[in-house]
Structure formats: C-alpha cells, structure tokens
Structure 1
Amino acid sequence: MTERKTSELFNEIEQASEADQFMTNMASSFIRTNPAEYLAELIQVKQVTKSQVIRQANLTPSIGYQYFDGKRRPNRARMIALGFGFKLSLTELNTMLKRTGYAVLYAKDEWDALIIFALSQRYDLDRTDELLYQYGLGTITAAD
C-alpha cells in the first residue's frame, strides 16, 4: 500500500461529519513509531553503534541505552540531541521528530531557529549548545 499524502488525509478529515468516518479509513495512515523503534531503524541506516550515538548526543550511557531499549521515552530536546548523535541533516531530524510524535523544528521559534542554523552549518552538539547559551536560550543537553 502506498503512503497517502498529508493533504489528502487533511481533506478527508475536513470533509467528515463524524470522527468514525475518517478514523477507520485512515487507521493505516497514522504514524505510530515509538522512539526506540525509530532509533533502531536509524542504527541500521546510518551504520553506527548505540555507544557512538550516545557519546555524540552527550547522554549518560545508562539513560541513552534506556532510550534505545524503550525503557524511557526521550523528550523533544533529547530526541534532538540524538539527532546530533546520528549526525542527521535538518530534513532527517525533522522526519525523526515527526515520526516519533514531536513538533518539527520551527523557524519562528528562536531556540529552534538556532538549531536549524547550527544544522545547516554542520555544527556538532557542543558547538550548538554554546550558540544557544550565547543567546541566553539554555542548551539542548540541559533542556528538560
């Protein structure tokens, strides 16, 4: 089955008079990837080890492995840190955020905008955190 376009799904939702009308028809189109499943996919695609990603994401090993094992769900900032750990592009990071249920990076949000800039400049996580800190926006690694 081919993936349906978002605009097509949006149209179906708007045209429905009852929630049951679209929920049944669209059930197979909803994205339900949990972070651990998506991280496992990325390990295969990027051909890296969990320990490499955890180290590059500046996570403690115990917490990092819990994210990969599905014992803990990372928050949005930790998912972004993991994106840096995988050395994802902006497009890849936004795909990861969408697929795991988080908001994509938004250019009108100053914290997100600096991350977008850092990704486009190929900054690593430490340099990105320094940039965020410089503008008084905290850091990715210290975000709750």
Structure 2
Amino acid sequence: MEQKTSELLNEIMHAKGADQFMTNVEANFAHFEPAEYLAELLHIKGKTKSVVIRQANLTPTTGYQYFDGKRRPSRSRMLALGFGFKLSLDETNTMLKRTGYAPLYAKDEWDALIIFALVQHFELNQTDELLFQYGLGTITAAN
C-alpha cells in the first residue's frame, strides 16, 4: 500500500542511512512518465486521444507523440492537455505532480490566472485570451 507523503518524509528524516529508507520505500517513489498518466486519464475520463489533442490545441503529430511516450510534454503542454481532458483544478495539480511538474502556484501571476480559468471552467482558448490580456503570453504559445 502506498504511503502518504508525510509518512514517507518522516521515514526519510529518521533514517540512519540512505539504504534504510531506499529499500523500504522504493515502491512509493513517483516515476514521472507522462504517457502512462495520460493513458490513465484517457481511461478515467472516457475520452479519445483525438478529442483531447484537438481540445488541447495540439497538432495531431505532437499530441500522439506525447501519448505514445516518444516526446515528453513541457509543463505548459501538460496544462494544455489538462484543458483537453477538462480537468478540475485538483485534477490538474495531481496531473502536474504525477508527471514531474510543479503544481499551479497561486502567488505566480501566470499560474493564478490559470487557476482562475480552471475554477471558472474556461476552455483553453478563453484561458489563453485571459493570459494574453494581462501580457503573460499564452499556454499554447509557451514551450
């Protein structure tokens, strides 16, 4: 059974040596494979790759490479995919963490506007317009 993060942190902090906790908690480490998590989301959300890619404003070639694990999406591309899946704020932050990226941070203005957009159920295009309005670029134009 997977340990809670706080339990895992406690075990690491009280270990006498690295071998002690590395052996005991190895199964709890997050392995950041976006393609695996994207496949999990397809199953959970009952969506198709083509629909998610289209709603994420990605080119089909690039989108399928993300789903097939041939390319690793950047944080902004993961956010675009989150909009393609129509994820909630909590689901988006879980996706970011599970794929090795920082969750959305309310003290960052770019992230704050994305948080607002997710809570308001904006589409990706509306979110990009909001970001652009505040001179912060867009999700789709970011690397």
Q: Normalising by structure 1, report the TM-score.
A: 0.96
Q: Which amino acid aligns with 2:97?
A: K
Find the counterpart in structure 2 of residue 29 from structure 1. Answer: 28
Gaps of 5+ in 1: none
In the alignment, the residues of structure 2 paired with residue 84 and residue 63 of structure 1 have an alpha-carbon distance, to the nearest angstrom, of 16
Gaps of 5+ in 2: none
Within-5 A mapping of 1:1-144: 2-144=1-143
In the alignment, the residues of structure 1 paired with residue 142 and residue 98 of structure 2 have an alpha-carbon distance, to the nearest angstrom, of 21
RMSD over aligned Cα, in angstroms?
Answer: 0.9
Shift of 1:42: 0.9
In the alignment, the residues of structure 2 paired with residue 41 and residue 63 of structure 1 have an alpha-carbon distance, to the nearest angstrom, of 19
Post-superposition Cα deviations, 1:39-83, rounded to whole Å, max 9, x if no partner, equal: 111111111111100000000000000000100000100000000
In the alignment, the residues of structure 1 paired with residue 19 and residue 96 of structure 2 have an alpha-carbon distance, to the nearest angstrom, of 27
SS of equivalent to 1:72: coil
Q: Normalising by structure 2, report the TM-score.
A: 0.97
SS of equivalent to 2:31: coil
User: Between Structure 1 and Structure 2, how many residues are aligned?
Assistant: 143
Give the share of equivalent positions with the same residue, in percent. Answer: 74
SS of equivalent to 2:135: coil
SS of equivalent to 1:66: helix
Q: Which amino acid aligns with 2:124?
A: L
Post-superposition Cα deviations, 1:88-139, rounded to whole Å, max 9, x if no partner, equal: 0011111111111111111111111110000000000000001111111111
In the alignment, the residues of structure 1 paired with residue 74 and residue 115 of structure 2 have an alpha-carbon distance, to the nearest angstrom, of 18
Shift of 1:33: 4.2
In the alignment, the residues of structure 1 paired with residue 63 and residue 86 of structure 2 have an alpha-carbon distance, to the nearest angstrom, of 16
